[in-house]
Every structure is written in structure tokens, then in C-alpha cells.
Structure 1
Amino acid sequence: MAAAKTHKVTARPREKWILLLLWIHWIFLLRCGTQASWMYLGVASLAGSVRDDKCNELPGLVQEQLQVCRENPESLLCISEGARRGILECQSQFKNERWNCTTQRNHTVFGPILRKGTRETAFIYAVLSAGVVHAVTQACSVGNLTDCSCDMSRYGESDVEGWKWGGCSDNVDYGLYVSKQFVDAPEVSTDLSDSRVLMNLHNNEVGRETVKHLMSRRCRCHGVSGSCAVKTCWRGLPPFQDIGRALKQSYERSVRLAVRSKRRLRRKDRRRRREPISYSELVHLRRSPNYCRNRPSKGILGTRGRVCNRTSTGPESCDLLCCGRGYNTQVVRHVERCHCKFHWCCYVECKRCETMVDVHTCK
């Protein structure tokens, strides 16, 4: 009996430590997953309409986001479309880079890449935040949301140049509001003194400010025989590709932060420490990892097997994309219809053309 009691007493502290470690591990996974889980809306199918009783079935939304879903399910469809635009634009901007904005088939979408505060992480947060602004603003203008419409605030005002505000401007202010309320919610509900939280909030705002900055004035002339006696103008959204290109430029000159920032962002470069960080600058905490080699545990697929351009000098070149490992060349036969002619009436006759194409892939 004494031996049994002794065994029982020594086992309890061990069990407590195991439970404590499991609890810490669970909290860590929950925190890492929650930071990015709303992005899953960009790859999830929300066909039809979202009902308020189905909001709890959407994975990873924090309480504030669930409230948006319950109060206005229509807006969640726009947010989902905005996240989808952001993901597709990320893949478009990085299609020729070593990291090509790889997505995974789970609720984190981007996987372990988001755990490190690299400049790739910064771009992801910014472009998805911008995507939500763009999609919600567009939905307002076409009347798909009941809580907003296009912007008529300056309708009828005259300008010194002789034109008048008219038409129906895109309501970017409402898009900015929804993006801030929804996209920032997972960060605002956590520790605002955390450097990573400050980084995410800043990059979210960079995405929103980029959309606002690229809003352009569009005009239409009215007058007899095509003259421009009267010109009405309105403000319109830019194509989302323009936003993606602007954010890619911000990514390339992204600012590295000092880790301990105490509720404010500070540059790691001591020479520029006193310079304020603007909302045209993306920020990151850590250097980017080496994307050349396959490391699945870190969400890195490597560049082996990627198609490269032998004659290019850009990031898609075989020298850069293949990381100096060299490349394989394969001759591929490409068959297509060509020299098509229309015959009256009514069929098209084409010839069959074959071409041999050299395809280069990284070793």
C-alpha cells in the first residue's frame, strides 16, 4: 500500500506539467491559427446567402466577426470575395518569385508562413485587407448591400476648372469602415503591446490606405455635337491589379522593426530610428527564410520543378529561381489549331500546327 501511495504522489506533478504543456501548446496553436483564420473565407465556398444561424459554423471567426456575420450576412459574402481577390492577386504578383504565395488546403490558408513576421506576411495582410475594401466598396456601388449605396456627398458641387461633381462616386469610406471593423478584429481583441499585433494592424491599414490613395477622378463630357460644354466627374475604384502592384512595391522596400516597440512601431535601423513610419510602408519583424529548399514544416515548398526563363534577367530567370542549382531542359510538342478560315455558310476550317518548345525546370 505504501508503495502504491508513493507512486501516486510522484505522478501528480508530472501529470500537471504534461497538462500545462499541452495547454500552452493548444493556446499557441489557437493564437497562430486565429490570426489568419478569417482568410479562409477567401477559399471557402459561401455560395448563395449566409444565414445568421450558420455563422458559428464558419471556422476561426472571433466574436466581433461573428457579430458582423449575424447582423449583416450579405457583407460576409463581400468580405469573402475580397479575401479571394487578395489571395489571387498575391499569387499573381509573386508567380515568378521563389516564394509564389503558396496556399494550403486548411483553415490557415497560408500555413506556417504567417507565424513569422516576415515581409511576405506583411504583404498577405495588406493585400487581403485591401481586397475587402475593394469588394465591399464595389458591392455598395452596384446596390448589393442594403446598408450602403454609392457616395453622393459631393453631388452638384462645382470646381474652378468648370466641371461639376456628378454621377455616383464609389463609397470607399464604407469599404474602409467594414475592413477595419472585420479585418482588425482578431488583433484588437489581443495584447496591443505585442509587436506582432502592431505589425499586423499597421499592414492592414497600409492595404486600406493604398485603395483610398489610388481612387481616381473620372469624368464624362456633355454638350452639343460631342463638345465638352459641361463635364461631370466622380471618384472611382482603381483596378485591383493596380493595388497589387503598389503593395508589391511597398513589399520590396518593407521596413524592418525593432522587436520591443512598447505600443509603437520603431525602425530597427538606428540611423533612421526617429523617422515616423507612414501608411505607405509595409513593416516586418524578421528576415525572410530561404525559399530555395523544400521545408514543409515551415510551409516552404522550394523551387525544384518550377518553370524558369533561361533568357530573362528578372526573378523568373533560371539563375535566380533555381538558386544556382541549374535547370533541366525538355522539348515539348505544342499542338494547336491555326490558319482558320470561315466558310459561308456556316463552318470554320482550321489547320493543325505543331511547334516544338523548350521548357526549362529547376533542378
Structure 2
Amino acid sequence: MGRGKWTAHFALIVLFRINLALANWMYLGMLGASMPSEGPKNYDIPRSDEPANYGTSICSSVPGLVTKQKNVCEEQPSSMNAVIVGIRRGILECQQQFQSERWNCTPEGDDNVFGYTLTRGSRETAFIHGILSAGVVHGLTEACSAGNLTMCSCDRSQEGLSTPEGWKWGGCSDNVQFATMFARHFVDAPEKESRKSSRKRDVRDMMNLHNNNAGRLAISRYMQRKCRCHGVSGSCELKTCWKKLPSFVEVGNYLKRKYDESVLISLKPRKRLRRRGKRKVPVRKDDLVYINKSPNYCIEDPANGIFGTSGRLCNKTSTGPDGCNLLCCGRGYNTQVVTHVNRCHCKFHWCCYVTCRKCTTELEIYTCK
């Protein structure tokens, strides 16, 4: 083989390995998505919480699953529906939380999903790991309580126990303990396998494991206590209580606050994470942590999965992240007047027809240059 051909061949091998490395379990959330050829900006994340029963065939078809994840998938294929729902829920919540910011959680294309962002070790990397790990716990917990999984059900471990306040645990609590254990086994597998193969603790792997756990803790933190009164005429002589999952919006809001307060870290000699600059302040388990500063998301950089903010809708009067000055990065914005014609002042006439007028509304739309 000639030198030029050998170089090209080697480059293809390297490119293949890079793409394979970027593919990961998060790709499960894209199953059933419409992925047009125009590019990743047009990805339509499936919004259904009831994906098809993919079965064991999914285990070998999803790129980037490590050995332990494939084993879990093959041994418990029914659980993968709940995992897919959870990942999808996490992606959609990520997009909702960042819809008005320069980085808006847009999938980056092909099998990578968030491949470029995940390799940065930035605050956005931390949030993705946290919200998707939380999503898997949320989806699995729901599936357990609904009786959709044979290996778990709702949590009755505290049923019948009394408390000093005079109420009893009862009903059927959402089984977040099982879901957390399963999610830890599945979601943490790539980093644990990487550490095992390299026989050392890599700060990036430890960062991802920490943020995965912070996402799971967010679900436990917001578990709600629901109660029902028993007694004559609703006197509440006895109160039965159980634990219920929080809405995922609450979890997303909480993790977004953690993102805003995220901690820049390094690795201690004893293989523990520590804050940079404030070494005496410990890193808490529920903190989101990162190792590298975020890039400039203003200018399009396709090679690094950055789409820029050109063409994004902005708010002319806002001083927040969605404001035209901040979102457009000082480049200015375009103004477009859009005319909407709607039916209005409708009246019902007996019997039996409706008449309406046509109302014209003009709206100004602002997009970043």
C-alpha cells in the first residue's frame, strides 16, 4: 500500500474510532426520531412516553453500548422501554431549560447525539449527565409503579409502620430505590468500564460518575409525601401516607439551578474531587461539577458541534439570556413583521350556525444576525 493510501486508510480508522467513541447510551433517546438529512438542527425528538417494545434486537443495534449495558439489555429487555422513555424525557427537559440560551441542548447529529458536548467536560456536559441520569430513574420508577416491569413493583417496605405524628405509611409508594439501583448499574457502566480497563481514576470519568449520581439524588430529593385521611365524616383520625414521584419539570428546574452554581473541580492526589481555588470547601454529592470552561457558543463551528445563535428568535425587550443583545452576542438582529389572520367575534345563531369576523394581527419577530 502506498504512503498516501496508507495515510488515508489510517485517517479513516481514526475517524471511525472517534465516531464510535462519541456514540453512547444516550442514543437510545433518539429511537423513533425523525432525523432528516438537512442536519441535526431539525431533529424531532419523539415526545411519546410509550415507545414500541423493541425487545432484545435493540441491544446489538444501538451504537456505543458497553458490554455491561448490552448484558442488562439482553437480560431485561422490557426495562429498555422505560430507559428510552427516561432518556427522551431528559433530552426534552434539557431543551426546555435551555431554549432561550446560547447553548440550547440541540442534538449534534448522527449517532453522537451530544457527542461533542460530552467530550468537553464543561458545565453543559455536567447538566446532560445529570438530567439524563435523572430521566432514567424517573422513567423506571413510573414503569415499576404501573406494573410494566416484572422485576419490580411499587414500594411497600414501610407499609403499616406508624410515626410519632400519628399517621401510618400505607398505599403503594413509588419505588425510587429500585430505579436508582438499576440506573446506577446501566448509566454508570461506560465510566466504570473505562476505569477498569485503564486501571486508573480519570478525572473525566469521575466527573461523569459524580454528575450521574447528582441527577439520581435530584429525584430522591423531590419525592413527595401524599396522604389520605380516614375517620368518621372525614375527621382524619388516621392518616395513611405514601411517597410519590415529583414532576420531571421540578427536577429539571432544580438541576438547572445546580448548573448555574456548578463547581469547577480537579482531582486530588487521593483520587478525590476538589474545588479549584477553594480547596477547603468540599464538593457536595448533589453538586454538578465540571473540569473545563465552556466554549463560545455564539459563532457556528460545525466541526465541534456548535451551531451558533444566528437565526435564533430573540426577545427585544428582555434583559435575560433570551434578550436580543445577549443571545445575538452583540451582532444585532433582524426585524420581520408577520401578519396573522384569525377568526374572531364569533356568534352562535339559533339554529344552528356560527358567524365570525376576520381579525388581522401584526407581530414583530426578531432573529439574530
Give the corresponding residue for 2:26: 39
Q: Distance in 1 between matches of 2:368 and 2:9?
A: 46
Letter in 2 for 1:301: F
Give the corresponding residue for 1:220: 228
**Which of 324, 343, 364 is residue 337 of structure 1 equivalent to?**
343
SS of 2:141's equivalent in the other structure is helix
Shift of 1:91: 0.1
Which digits, 9 at most, give the CA deviation of each residue in 1:310-330, with x for residues without a partner? 111111111111111111111
Same amino acid, percent of matched pairs: 53
SS of 1:205's equivalent in the other structure is helix
Q: Distance in 2 between matches of 1:348 and 1:225?
A: 48
Shift of 1:158: 1.4
Say whether residues 1:156 and 2:160 are aligned partners.
Answer: yes
Say whether residues 1:107 and 2:115 are aligned partners.
Answer: no
Given that 1:68 and 1:182 are in contact with CA atoms closer than 8 Å, whether structure 2 keeps it comes out as yes
Give the corresponding residue for 1:255: 263
Letter in 2 for 1:107: D
Q: Distance in 1 between matches of 2:352 and 2:285?
A: 59
From the superposition, tell whether residues 28 and 304 of structure 1 become closer, same or farther in structure 2 (CA, over 3 Å): closer
Which digits, 9 at most, give the CA deviation of each residue in 1:282-336, with x for residues without a partner? 0111111111111111111111111111111111111111111111111111222
Shift of 1:152: 0.4
Letter in 1 for 2:324: C
SS of 1:287's equivalent in the other structure is coil
Shift of 1:132: 0.1
SS of 1:217's equivalent in the other structure is strand
Q: Distance in 1 between matches of 2:350 and 2:185?
A: 60
Flag the structure with larger Rg. 1
Please report the TM-score for the alignment, with normalisation by the length of structure 1.
0.89
- Where does 1:57-72 land on structure 2 (aligned, <5 Å)? 57-72=61-76
Give the corresponding residue for 2:243: 235
From the superposition, tell whether residues 19 and 166 of structure 1 become closer, same or farther in structure 2 (CA, over 3 Å): same
Q: Distance in 2 between matches of 1:347 and 1:311?
A: 43
From the superposition, tell whether residues 165 and 360 of structure 1 become closer, same or farther in structure 2 (CA, over 3 Å): same
Decide which moves more: 344-353 or 252-261.
Answer: 344-353
- Where does 1:186-335 land on structure 2 (aligned, <5 Å)? 186-191=190-195, 192-258=200-266, 263-269=271-277, 272-335=278-341
Q: Distance in 1 between matches of 2:351 and 2:227?
A: 44
* Unmatched segments (≥5 aa) in structure 1: 1-7
From the superposition, tell whether residues 342 and 201 of structure 1 become closer, same or farther in structure 2 (CA, over 3 Å): farther
From the superposition, tell whether residues 220 and 358 of structure 1 become closer, same or farther in structure 2 (CA, over 3 Å): same
Q: Distance in 1 between matches of 2:187 and 2:308?
A: 30
SS of 2:121's equivalent in the other structure is coil
Q: Distance in 2 between matches of 1:310 and 1:285?
A: 34
Q: Distance in 1 between matches of 2:267 and 2:14?
A: 22
Q: Distance in 1 between matches of 2:237 and 2:349?
A: 49
From the superposition, tell whether residues 356 and 264 of structure 1 become closer, same or farther in structure 2 (CA, over 3 Å): same
Give the corresponding residue for 2:20: 30
Q: Distance in 1 between matches of 2:348 and 2:241?
A: 44
* Unmatched segments (≥5 aa) in structure 2: 33-49
Shift of 1:358: 1.1
Decide which moves more: 341-350 or 60-69.
Answer: 341-350
Q: Distance in 2 between matches of 1:151 and 1:259?
A: 38
From the superposition, tell whether residues 112 and 347 of structure 1 become closer, same or farther in structure 2 (CA, over 3 Å): farther
From the superposition, tell whether residues 41 and 349 of structure 1 become closer, same or farther in structure 2 (CA, over 3 Å): farther
Letter in 1 for 2:253: R
Give the corresponding residue for 1:175: 179
Shift of 1:22: 6.4
Say whether residues 1:362 and 2:368 are aligned partners.
Answer: yes
Shift of 1:276: 2.1
Shift of 1:275: 2.5
Aligned residues, how many? 348
Q: State the Cα RMSD in Å.
A: 2.4
Q: Distance in 1 between matches of 2:96 and 2:295?
A: 21
Which digits, 9 at most, give the CA deviation of each residue in 1:203-226, with x for residues without a partner? 000000111111111112223333
- Where does 1:62-141 land on structure 2 (aligned, <5 Å)? 62-141=66-145
Given that 2:27 and 2:62 are in contact with CA atoms closer than 8 Å, whether structure 1 keeps it comes out as no
Given that 1:341 and 1:349 are in contact with CA atoms closer than 8 Å, whether structure 2 keeps it comes out as yes
Given that 2:51 and 2:84 are in contact with CA atoms closer than 8 Å, whether structure 1 keeps it comes out as no
Letter in 2 for 1:203: N
From the superposition, tell whether residues 219 and 264 of structure 1 become closer, same or farther in structure 2 (CA, over 3 Å): same
Give the corresponding residue for 1:5: none
Given that 1:315 and 1:321 are in contact with CA atoms closer than 8 Å, whether structure 2 keeps it comes out as yes
From the superposition, tell whether residues 326 and 201 of structure 1 become closer, same or farther in structure 2 (CA, over 3 Å): same
SS of 2:82's equivalent in the other structure is helix
Please report the TM-score for the alignment, with normalisation by the length of structure 2.
0.87
Q: Distance in 2 between matches of 1:120 and 1:216?
A: 28
Letter in 2 for 1:69: C
Shift of 1:350: 3.8
Given that 2:51 and 2:85 are in contact with CA atoms closer than 8 Å, whether structure 1 keeps it comes out as no
SS of 1:136's equivalent in the other structure is helix
Given that 1:334 and 1:355 are in contact with CA atoms closer than 8 Å, whether structure 2 keeps it comes out as yes
SS of 2:275's equivalent in the other structure is coil
Q: Distance in 2 between matches of 1:187 and 1:244?
A: 24
